[in-house]
A and B are shown apart, each in its own frame.
Chain A
Amino acid sequence: MRRKLRLIAIIAVLGMVTAACAAADDGGGSDSGDEQQGEVTQGGTLKAALISDVADAFDPHKSYYTVNWGFYKCCLLRTLLSYNGLPTEEGGNEPLPDLAADQPEVSEDGTEWTFTLKEGIAYAPPLEDTTVVAEDFVRSFERLADPKASEGGYAFYYSIIEGFDDFSDGKADTISGIEAVDDQTVKFTLTDSYGDFGMRLAMPATAPLPEGVADGHVRDYGRFLVGTGPYMFEGSEDLDFEAAPEDQKPVSGYKPNRSITLVRNPSWDPETDDLRPANVDRIEVEIGGTEEDVANKVDAGDLDINLDGVPPAQQIREFLSDPEREDQVQAYPSDAVRYISFNLAEPPFDDINVRKAVNAVIDKDGMRRLRGGPQFGDIAGHIVVDGLLDDELADYFPYGNEDGTPDVEGAQEFMGESEYDSDGDGVCDAPECKDIFAVTDQADPYADQAALIEDSLKEIGIELEVQALERDPMYEKCNDAGAHVAICLGPAWGKDYADATTFGEPLFGSVAIGPDSCCNYSLVGAPADLLKENDYDVTEVPSADDKIKECDTSAEDERVGCWAEFDQMLMEEIVPWVPYLFDNRVEVISDRVENYTFDQFHGGMALDHVGVSE
C-alpha cells in the first residue's frame, strides 16, 4: 500500500533498474560529474516525470522512499552532513559538511559527536529572516521521535541516541542525547560507539525544523515544508504560519498526484553550499501516465527524465544502438542486490550443504540474461554490495563460477555431503526435496527466472512448487515465519545509506523476523521458542547477532573490514541466500540534459547538478 515502504522504496529503485551498461562498459553512459561544470548552461527549466507520486506528501520524517530523498538532497533540505551528488567512485558515498561548518568533533570513545553550524543560513520564504540554529535540530529530532509524526519512517536509526527511545515512549520530556550547546553548536550523545552516525545524520529526516512550521501538521507537514536547499516549492512564500494550522493553505507548488514545481530559493547562498551547483532555475515534475508514454516524451524532448519509472527495454536498445543518442542512456550501480532466500528452518534447506549446493548450481548469468543481460548489473558472489565494502570482496565468488555460470559438479559434491542425499551421488533422494514450497513475484521477469531456477535445481534433485504472488503479498508471505516458505525467489534489497549496517540487522538480525518485524526471511538467529511456536522441527538455526553487534558498534575506519568479514561468514558458515545480481540503475535522459550526474545517495540523477540547453 504505502509507497514509502522500505521494500517498495527499494523496488522502486530496483524496478527502475533496467540497467544499461555500467558507464564504462557498453557505451551507455557518459562522464558523470562536474568536470564539465564550467560548461553547464545556467537557468532554464528541467522537466521531469514521476509515474507515481512521492511518498507521504513530502513529510521528511515519514518519507522512507528514495525518490523523496532525491528531492530533499538536491533541492529542498540541507542537513548537518550530506553528499556531493556524485557516484561512489567520485566520493558520492562520503558524508561531507553541509549545514555543519566542518566534520564533527568525535569523542575518543566515539559516543559524543559535536557539530558547529555554518553561520547565517536562512530558511526559504516566508522564513527568510530566520536563520538555522542548533535548537532547530533538537526540534526536528523530537518530531522524528514522535511515532505519529514519523509513522512509516526510519526513526529506528536514531535509537542509538541517548534518550531517543525514552522520549519516543513518552518517558522523558526531552531527548537527553541531543543538546543545543549554543545557537551554533549541537551535540549528540550515543548509547555506544557507532561509526556510521555521520551517515545517519546525512539522512533527510534530520534536517532542521524551524519553530512553529510543523505545529498542527502531524499528518501533512510535507506540504508546509520550509527548508534551506537551493530550491523551494513554488508558492512557498505564501505559506502563512501565523494562521491557525487548520486554516493554513499548503504550498501551491506541490499538487499531490499531479505535479511538483520547484523554484529557486532566494535565501540560498551558493557561497555556503559546496555540494549543490543548482544550475537550473526551475524544476517541473508531472505525475502520472505510463512508462511507455513518458519514454516517448523523453524521446521527443518534451520531458528530460523519468524519475521513478522503468525505461522500456526497446527505448534503451534504440538509444544504445544510435551513436548520437547512446550518451542519453546512463547506468550506475544502485547499491542493491537481488537474491534468493532460504528458510534455514525448513527442510531441506535446514542443511547447509543443500544451501551451498543450490548456490553452486544456480545459473546466475541466466538469471541476469532474463533481466536483460550484462548491462543489468554485475554477477553477485556475496551479499553486501561492493560499493559499501570498498570493493574488498569484488573478487569473492565462493560458489559457482565468476561469470555466473553454474558449477554442477561442485553443487553435486555439496549435495553428496548433505543428509538428504543418502547414497552420496550428488542428487537429493529424500522426499523433502520434492514439492518444496517456493514463492515468487508474479511480475516480469520473475516467472521466467523461477522456471530457470527450477531447471537448475533438478541437477541436484530438488523440485519446487512455485507460488507466484503480487509483490506486496509475496514479501509478506516470505516475511511470515509461520508461512513455512522454504525458498523465496523474488526479493531484492538496497542500502538506506552507504554503510553495510543497512544489510545487517534488518536482513539477518534475530529481531528482524516476521511477521511482526522485517525482513529476515531466512530466520537467521531465530530463537528456539519462535521456531517451536511456528511448528518447525528444528530447534536451532545459526545466528549472526554477535557479529552484527560487533560491526554496528565498530569505529569508522574498522567498519568496512568488519562487514566484509560478516559477509564472508554469512556466505560460508550460514549461507542464507543465493545472491545473484548487483543491480544497475538505468536512466534515459533527453538531449537537452547537460552534465548528467548520478547521485549515489538516493540512486538517481542529481537534479541540482544537471543543466538544460534551451
Chain B
Amino acid sequence: MGQYLIRRSLFMILVLFLVSVLTFLIFMKLPSGDPARMMGGQRTNAEDLQEIRENLGLDQPFWVQYGRFAKGMIPWPGLWLDEQIYYSYSNNVAIKEEIYPRLPYTFALAMGAAVIWLAIGIPVGIISAIKRRSFADRTSMIFALIGVSAPVFWLAYLFLYLFWFKLGIAPPSGIPSDEGVVQAMVTGRFVMPWIVLSLAFAAFYSRMTRGNLIETMGEDYIRTARAKGLSERKVIFKHGLRSALTPVVTMFGMDLGILFGGVFITETVFNIPGLGQYAVRAIGNNDIPAVMTVVTLAAAFIVVLNLIVDVMYAVLDPRVRYR
C-alpha cells in the first residue's frame, strides 16, 4: 500500500507538471493578446512596452518564463503563489488573496450539491434497477433524460426567474460580501445553486447505479447468495450494491474533484464568489497568473480525489488489493 501511494503521488506530480506546462503554453502562445500590451494599455510606447516585458519576464526564453511560474506552484513557504509573480494582471491583487476566500464557497457548493445528487441519484437508480420496466423505472428514466439534457445555465436562469423573480420564495443571486459561507447557507442562498447543480449529476448517477446494479444482480455470486437463503434486501444492499457502487464512487471522486476546481457556470450565474467565477474572469481577461493558479489547482483536486477514490476501492471491494 505504501509503495502504491508513493507511486501514485509521483504520478500526481507528473500530471500536475504536464497540466501546468500545457496551460502556460496555451495562454502564452495562443493569439489571445500580448500580456505586456494588456498591462501597459494600448497607447503605451515601444520603450515602456519593453520595460513591462522585462518586468514580467516576457523577454526571457519560454522555459525561464515557465520556471518563474512553476516555482510558485511548489507548496512550500516562500515559494507557494509568490506574490511577486502571482498577482493578477487585471487588478494587481495577489492571487492568494483572491483564491483563499473563494475556496469555502466552492467547497460548500460542490459538497452540498454532491449530497443532493447522491441522495437522489442512488436511491432512484436502485429502485429502477429493482423494479425494472415499472412506472418508477420509467419515471426515473424521464427524470434522467430531463436532468441530463437541461443545460445548467438554462436551469439556473429558470430557477432564478421562477423562484426569486416571480414567486419571491428564494433569495436572489449573489452573496453579500459581509456574509460568510455558513451564514449564506443558513439564509438559503445555496439552495437553488445546489439543486440546479445536482440535477444533472443526479440524473446521470441514477442511470449509472441502475445499469451497474442490474449487471451485478446477474452475477453468479448473487445467485449463490440467494441460494444460501439470504433475504433479498441483504442480497441487494450487502452484496449487489457494494459492487455496483464501485464505478459510481470512481465517478464521484472525479466529479467532486472537477467541481472543487470551480463550478464555472453555476457560480457565474448565481454570482457565487467561488473559484469557478474567478476562473471565468481570469480566462476572459487572459490573466496568466490567475489562470495558471486555478487550472493547476483544479487539476490537483482531481488527481488527489482520484487517489482517495482508488484507496477507497479496497474498502468497498475486498477483491481489490494494492501492490
Contacts and interface: CB of A to CB of B under 8 A. Distances in A.
A518 interface: yes
A1 B285 contact: yes
B42 A6 contact: yes
B40 A472 contact: no
A442 B320 CA distance: 52
A7 B41 CA distance: 8
B161 interface: yes
B215 interface: no
Contact of A57 (B31, B92, B269, B278): B92
A379 interface: no
A437 to B, nearest CB: 16
A297 B168 CA distance: 12
B176 A286 contact: yes
B98 interface: yes
Given A1-B285, A288-B174, A476-B33, A257 B41 contact: no
A53 interface: yes
A153 interface: yes
Contact of B165 (A151, A154, A156, A300): A300
Contacts, number: 139
Contacts of A59: 92
A78 interface: no
Contacts of A6: 41-43
A592 interface: no
Contact of A290 (B45, B90, B268): B268
A147 interface: yes
Interface string A279-313: 00000001011101100110110100000000000
Given A257-B98, A472-B32, A476-B33, A2 B160 contact: no
A25 B88 CA distance: 44
Between A148, A286, A290, the greatest number of chain B beta carbons within 10 A of the residue's beta carbon is seen for A290
B52 A151 contact: yes
Contacts of B281: 52-53, 257
Given A3-B285, A152-B39, A220-B93, A302 B172 contact: yes
A517 B90 contact: no
Interface in A1-40: 1-7
Interface residues of B, number: 49
A296 B165 contact: yes
Nearest to B31: A473
A289 B164 CA distance: 15
B41 A219 contact: no
A64 interface: yes
A293 B51 contact: no
B39 A473 contact: no
A286 B172 CA distance: 13
Interface string A460-498: 000000000010110110010000000000000000000
Interface string B278-319: 100100011100000000000000000000000000000000
A254 to B, nearest CB: 10
A515 to B, nearest CB: 8
A516 interface: yes
Nearest to A54: B91
B173 A56 contact: no
Contact of B39 (A57, A151, A475, A518): A151
Contact of B177 (A154, A255, A302): A255
User: Which are the 9 A-B pairs with shortest beta-carbon distances?
Assistant: A1-B38, A289-B271, A259-B177, A516-B46, A518-B42, A1-B286, A152-B41, A472-B33, A288-B271
8 contacts: A219-B92, A257-B93, A288-B268, A290-B269, A293-B173, A472-B32, A475-B42, A476-B31
Interface of A: 1-7, 52-57, 59, 62, 64, 147-148, 151-154, 156, 219-220, 255-259, 261, 286, 288-290, 292-293, 296-297, 299-300, 302, 470, 472-473, 475-476, 479, 506, 512, 516-519
